[in-house]
A and B are shown apart, each in its own frame.
Chain A
Amino acid sequence: MLVFDHVTKRFGANTAIDDVSLTIHPGVITAVIGPNGAGKSTLVNMAAGSFRATSGRILLDGVELQGLPKYKIARAGLSRTYQNIRLFDGLSVLQNLAVTLVPRSLPMLIAQAFWLAPGAGHDVRDTCMAVLHRLGIAHLADRQAGSLAYGQQKIVELARAVVSRPRAILLDEPAAGLNHTETDELKAHIQALRGPELAIVLIEHDMKLIMSVSDEIYVMNRGTLLAHGTPAAIRDNIHVQEAYLGQPGAMGIIEAAARGRRNRVRIRAGEGLAWGEP
């Protein structure tokens, strides 16, 4: 369970996140939505250790993540994908996954390098290959990650995020830049991730994907939490529609637009409130 407990983040005079509390339960897919600048990415980056919250706690299964270095947060069981893909371009797909399975202790690393401890080469390979099979990209195992198509790289990044068996996974706009077919494929993969132990956070702009894949939705706007509920409840929440999308029925327009555009949602509702890229 990933918990944001009264988290506030200020950048100078700007309050990016204002007293936000979220609970992301294992076994479900929780989406966090909101227009640009709502504070979604700030939340992700704080949880992953890029910077600390001004106040509040971020707990993963009861362990405070604030103040831990990034690699320790990853070891505590939080993994993530990036808005703009960050694979190890020069390494093979298999190696990209293997990086997350490198032994944790430095003495162990040294011992393995000099045959003082048994290496885990076969096990690591099997574990990685199993994940690649599951995501349907086993045939790419030996390809150089940087040479793959954009959509494939997104899937590799997803594979890298899950291969270490995390407790929580943060998907930062996984569908951005994907075409219709690729998004459908991604949807199937995200649904397949669902497991009793894993808390999944989905940050997305693609409303169609969000509505079809998530179990719970948090709506953010300007650093505050606007609403929280099931997709159906959020869709019908007149408050959300009015206060943040500009006019009642805006959600329907957005979904229609998402279907029509097939890609990232980018429409204007009401008095020019933008959703998606400005």
Chain B
Amino acid sequence: MTSEAAIAPLGRRPVLRAVAIMALMPIAVVIAGTFLPAYPLRILDLVLLYAILGMGLNIVVGYAGLLDLGFVAFYAIGAYTYALLASPQFDLHLPFALILLIGAALAAFAGVLLGIPVLRLRGDYLAIVTLGFGEIIRVLINNLDGLTNGPQGIARIDEASLFGWHISTPLDYLYLLVGLCVLTFLFVWRLQESAFGTALAAVREDQDAARGCGIDTTGVKLIAFATSATIGGVGGVVFASMQRFVSPESFTFWESLSIVLIVVVGGLGNPFGVLLGATLLVVMPELLRAYADYRQLLYGAALVLVILARPMGLIGREYGPSWLVRKLMAR
């Protein structure tokens, strides 16, 4: 259940114990990663990257109940921020940590820019306008040749390094991504549990009634868009440094759709659901590689089956981190 802590704070000590138990999960991933060969390791990196993006998008789609089909725009802004500030394109080579901040800030700014005009819209209209926004950013990138090098993209992007730590191998990225994933997880969990999460839940359930209860729905949604965009921007920066090449092709509508699917298939409003969704949606196409021509067909069929069987996602909203903490505390 959302925002439980805002009204039913959990005791401090048992929470720490429960969180310690939950911390075993990322530790297990890191240990497993050290033994994995390069190819599955890269897949694992992708799973984590998409999990981060999914948790970010989930703030808008899952917590606030607004269908955002243009999330990839923020991802692209993050990616191009790194590509432009750490490549021979303009011969700028800023440090990775600084660009992370810049990318996050730019994406947040874009989130507010998108938010202001669209947040008066609802449902389908909101979805269409966000979709349009995603396309605008992609088309801009495609055509601003002088800045972005157009469809050719930007190559020879710098290797990332964080306070002296060179991040280059898939294993390095595993460490980085696990760290970011844990941070994002804690961030969105806290967001959901705070009074802000309660306000978002009210917006999701009934906007008019929420307004009648004194919630500034427009303001609340704007913050939701901005925080969600920030996470998208961070994901983009990491993506660009990982690929060391960016082009508009990576930021099509299908990318947005994939991230929405991760959230919807995994479980709306539940970071555990997003983790599972990211795992399935990244790993499934890889497993289906053997079936070459039928790959997309099988993938689509699997999605349809999952959504038919579990319309609210594989892991329900109520089985979130707070639920797990309570279960762990009860023992």
Tell me whether A150 is interfacial, beta carbon within 8 Å: no
* Complex contacts, B198 vs chain A, CB 8 Å: 95, 98-99, 102
Chain A stretch 57-99: residues in CB contact (< 8 A) with chain B: 69-71, 74-75, 79-80, 82, 86-92, 94-95, 98-99
Given A90-B201, A92-B1, A109-B195; A119-B6 close (CB under 8 Å): yes
- Beta-carbon contact of B212 and A110 below 8 Å: no
Q: When chains A and B are docked, how far (Å) is the Cα of A223 from the Cα of B202?
A: 34
The yes or no answer to A147 lying at the interface (CB within 8 A) is no
- With A74-B213, A88-B209, A119-B194 in contact, is A99–B8 under 8 Å at CB? no
> Which of B126-134, B137-145, B158-166, B216-224 lies at the interface with chain A?
B216-224
Q: A98-B198, A100-B213 are in contact. Are A88 and B191 (CB under 8 A)?
A: no
Closest to A99 in B: B202
Kindly list chain A residues whose C-beta atoms are within 8 Å of the C-beta of B194: 109, 112-113, 119
Query: How many A residues face the partner with a CB closer than 8 A?
Result: 41
Give complex CA distance A124, B8 in Å: 9
Are B219 and A70 in contact (CB-based, < 8 A)?
A: no
B201 engages A113 (CB within 8 Å): no
What distance in Å separates the Cβ of B182 from its nearest Cβ neighbour in chain A? 16
Flag whether B93 is at the interface (Cβ < 8 A). Answer: no
Specify the chain B residue showing the minimal Cβ separation from A69: B211
Chain A contacts for B190, CB-based, 8 A: 113-115
Interface pair A74/B9, CB less than 8 Å apart: no
Known contacts A91-B201, A102-B195: A160-B7 contact under CB 8 Å: no
Q: Are B195 and A113 in contact (CB under 8 A)?
A: yes
B214 within 8 A of partner (CB)? yes
Assuming the contacts A113-B194, A114-B190, A122-B9, asked whether A106 and B216 have C-beta atoms less than 8 A apart, the reply is yes
Q: Of A79, A90, A99, A106, which contacts B210 at CB under 8 A? A: A99
Pick from B191, B215, B216, B219: contact of A99, CB under 8 Å: B215
Q: Is B220 a contact partner of A74 (Cβ separation < 8 A)? A: no
* Contact B7–A124 (Cβ < 8 Å): yes
The reply on B286 being an interface residue by CB < 8 A is no
Residues of chain B contacted by A89 (CB below 8 angstroms) = 205-206
Tell me which of B1, B194, B206, B223 has the highest count of chain A C-beta atoms within 10 A of its own C-beta.
B194
A-chain residues with CB within 8 Å of residue B247 when the two chains form the complex = none
Q: Which residues of A contact B148 (CB under 8 A)?
A: none
Bound-state CA distance A164–B215 (Å) is 12
Once A109-B196, A110-B196, A125-B8 are accepted as A-B contacts, the answer to whether A95 and B201 lie under 8 Å apart by CB is yes
Residues A112 and B196 in contact in the complex (CB < 8 Å), given A87-B209, A88-B205: yes
Is A37 in contact with chain B by the CB < 8 A criterion?
no
Interface residues of B in 170-212 (CB under 8 A from A): 190-191, 194-199, 201-202, 204-206, 208-212
A70 and B223 CA atoms in complex are apart in Å by 19
A104 touches B214 (CB 8 A): yes
Asked if A232 is at the interface (CB within 8 A of a chain B CB), the reply is no
CB distance from B186 to the nearest CB of A (A): 11
Interface pair B195/A75, CB less than 8 Å apart = no
Distance (whole angstroms) from the CB of B194 to the closest CB of chain A: 4
Do A109 and B8 contact each other (CB < 8 Å), given the known contacts A88-B209, A100-B214, A104-B214?
Answer: no
Q: Complex: how many Å from CA A149 to CA B123?
A: 29
A103 at the interface (CB under 8 A from B): yes
**Within residues 160 to 218 of chain A, which ones have a CB less than 8 A from any CB in chain B?**
160, 164
Q: Is B2 an interface residue (CB 8 A)?
A: yes
B201 contact set on A, CB distance < 8 A: 88, 90-91, 95, 99
Residue of A nearest to B226 (CB): A110
- List B240-299 residues whose CB lies under 8 Å from chain A: none
Q: Given B6, B196, B205, B208, which contacts A90 in the complex, CB threshold below 8 Å?
A: B205
Residues A115-159 near B (CB distance < 8 A): 115, 119-122, 124-125, 128
The answer to whether the Cβ of A240 comes within 8 Å of any Cβ in the partner chain is no
| Nearest chain B CB to A89 CB, angstrom units | 6
B5 at the interface (CB under 8 A from A): yes
Taking beta carbons and an 8 Å cutoff, which residues of B are in contact with A?
Answer: 1-3, 5-9, 190-191, 194-199, 201-202, 204-206, 208-217, 219-220, 223, 317
Cross-chain pairs A/B with CB under 8 angstroms, 6 sampled: A74-B214, A88-B210, A94-B7, A95-B198, A98-B3, A119-B6
8 new A-B contacts at CB < 8 Å, known A79-B212, A98-B198: A87-B206, A91-B202, A95-B2, A95-B3, A98-B7, A99-B199, A106-B223, A109-B223
Of all A-B residue pairs in the complex, the 5 with the closest CB atoms, nearest first, are A88-B205, A74-B214, A113-B194, A121-B9, A70-B211
